[in-house]
Chains A and B, each alone.
Chain A
């Protein structure tokens, strides 16, 4: 099903509540950034730092690998999702791991790591409470920072087999269940928010403490991360740490900002993943590589707030997902750049100034490049003769047939009355 169909279903069931919950977060975010007088300067700096990184990505990757190795971290480079999954599986096989605790990592979702490991007999426990809720429900996260924002407390109680729907009770119940998993896991997997090139450190920002338990308890800690997450130095990291949580949830900072070097009681491994990122550098969509996954563009988007994240069907939904998904699979996700009013709200909140509106329009061109109908219309609009002919045909076609032909469009919109004569014909 396409975005608009899934969106209508979602809106009927949960739309207004979902919209309200996300709008409250957007308001908290606005309050948080107003406390920082130099917010716009920070955005400018953050954007420039990311430009610098993606324009010299190869060099920064080399520098990070060199310094992380010096720090005592084992490094792997995976060119695609398959290679990433195989590297992680081999690392787990080496220690005969049966159970892994995983904290939030959009990259492992992108690579389909859970399914890959489970097929090979390794149990993967998602430990972020929101991710655990969706995992138990057999779903995918619907938002990259608030994975279970589409669920109600009643649904959480149901999946846990509880009758008490109090959020504090349910949260502590899940904590109890997951604590046992942490203590019995053979390895921990997490993502990383930033990699500091000149130090070789990985930085993870979380609220729940699950990434830290997964990093500190088992003997093996694997960090799966995309190459674009590198920042040149600690000074640059400071800029992003001031922005990330404020822009995501309106917190001044996440509970934990963990800076990882060598692991004291075991082995730490970083798997750097390309999966099409280097190739994207040579396209008109290279600016999407600046994204720090703060999720502000999802939370603010009037379409996302009403449609929910699942309507996008991709691991990363919302405005940034509408750019990333078609790059991953053009045919499957060609509807996403159109699930957008070009209102520009995403661009206004983006901490690294990704030019969303321009990119989304370019993406519309990209996905329709080979579409016959669009090609036909484009040709007609370029030739006065073809245009006249085309408009005449439209005028002569009975409305009922037109309506049927334009079914997707006319299903939810009133079909306009076509005047019998063209304006320029007087």
Chain B
């Protein structure tokens, strides 16, 4: 789990303790350790239109994207941190078209 959180933070993501006001919240099914990405099955426009997006998720992880593929049985989206770009002089900027901030909240009691 530590490796997952490290990689999530490297991609600009945050670990949240509770759901803050004004964030769009949805559910993720699992995380991928090697890149800190989460699998979200529900593909809604709010995921991309909102300034701040949080996903609730169980403490369920797979090591690599290859293992992740075994768990996917419908379309959806892997998300790794907030939207980003480096198109202006290679300078990394969060909030390219989608969310400026992206956080995860672990389901309690697991």
Contact = CB atoms under 8 A, between A and B. Distances in A.
Instruction: Decide whether A and B assemble into one complex.
Output: yes
Interface of A: 21, 24-25, 36, 127-130, 133, 146-149, 151-153, 156, 167-168, 170-172, 175, 178-179, 182, 201, 207-210, 212-213, 216-217, 234-235, 237-239, 241-242, 249, 251-262, 264
Given A212-B47, A212-B77, A213-B97, A238 B88 contact: no
Contacts of B66: 235, 238-239, 242
Contacts of B91: 153, 167-168
B81 interface: yes
24 contacts: A128-B87, A129-B87, A129-B88, A167-B89, A168-B91, A168-B93, A170-B88, A172-B93, A207-B83, A207-B84, A209-B96, A209-B98, A216-B43, A216-B45, A235-B69, A238-B68, A242-B65, A255-B82, A257-B37, A257-B80, A258-B43, A258-B77, A259-B77, A260-B75
A360 B90 CA distance: 30
A210 B95 contact: no
Given A207-B96, A209-B97, A258-B77, 19 more contacts: A21-B89, A24-B90, A128-B87, A130-B87, A153-B89, A171-B85, A209-B96, A209-B98, A216-B43, A216-B44, A234-B72, A249-B86, A252-B34, A253-B80, A255-B98, A257-B37, A259-B75, A260-B75, A262-B75
Interface of B: 7, 10-11, 32, 34-37, 43-45, 47-49, 64-70, 72, 74-91, 93, 95-99
A156 B88 contact: yes
B48 A213 contact: yes
Contacts of A170: 88
Contacts, number: 153
Contacts of A242: 34, 64-66
B72 A208 contact: no
Chain B interface mostly: loop
Contact of A238 (B69, B86, B99): B69
B87 A171 contact: yes
Contact of A147 (B36, B81, B87, B89): B87
A258 B80 CA distance: 11
Q: Which of B10, B76, B87 has the most chain A CB atoms inside 10 A of its CB? A: B87
Contacts of B65: 238, 241-242, 253
B97 A255 contact: no
